[in-house]
Amino acid sequence: MGFSADWLALREPSDHAARDTALLRRAVNEAGAKPVILDLGCGTGSTVRALDALLPKNRQWRLVDNDLGLLQLAGKAAGDSATLHQLDLDDIDSLPLAGVTLVTASALIDLVSRQWLAKLASSLSVPVYLALSYDGEMNWQPEHPLDKAVTAAFNSHQRSDKGFGPALGPDSVEVASEVFRAHGFEVLVAQSPWRLASAEAELQKELVAGITQAVIEFGAQDAELWGRERTAVAGQTLCQIGHGDLLAIPELKSERS
């Protein structure tokens, strides 16, 4: 599993616009007066850039990714407040959790399995902020006759193994809610859809290319036709891609707040 820096840069403005503001601010508040934030799958540091302006100056980041190049870019975003940890996210036991006050991840939990998520939840006693998880909904205007078939095939692809076992895909927020509640967390959820218009035509094109490649692997009929025709009208298309944000707070901490 890996993502290019170019793709991450292209999607970042839409990611930042999509985050639920109230849940973001609650997550920052839950990090405490001396935040030590562990960001899982940090990429180039999008979560850092989303939260940093709201955090006190004494915050510390622990950035985790298996891609050294992306990790170094994230380190530049966080500056002297960061320590970098090149780790395989599948090795939860190796995560630098000591002293952490908030765990974050963006666009990650739809790629992991229920088993992985349960192991993470069982390892944590601090709040967890999981943003921008795909929820299976795609709406395009104007519509295309193949939209529903392509969405169904893409959702099947999203449930395939991404390196952590069978992925949660579009069920990620629902399953994460169940898992964290079962491990003694209060769970808050909000919608955070991408809303892409003509200004995001380049992102739409790259999104369509990725979806097309994925659904071809799952045998969707006429996927290439859908991809060509969707790409051709990207500058005139309105697109909403469903995501969800989740904040899980340990019950004892929730009761004190």
Q: Which domains does the chain have, with CATH numbers?
A: 5-256 (3.40.50.150)
DSSP result, 121-161: HHH--S-EEEEEEEEEEEEEES--TTHHHHHHHHHHHHTSB
- Name residue 249's beta-bridge partners: 186
Q: Which residues pair with 85 in a beta bridge?
A: 64
Predicted pLDDT of residue 1: 45
Reported pTM: 0.94
Parallel, antiparallel, or unpaired for β 36-40 and 102-106? parallel
Average pLDDT for residues 58-70, to the nearest whole number?
97
pLDDT tens digit sequence for 10-44:
999 999 999 999 999 999 999 999 999 999 999 99
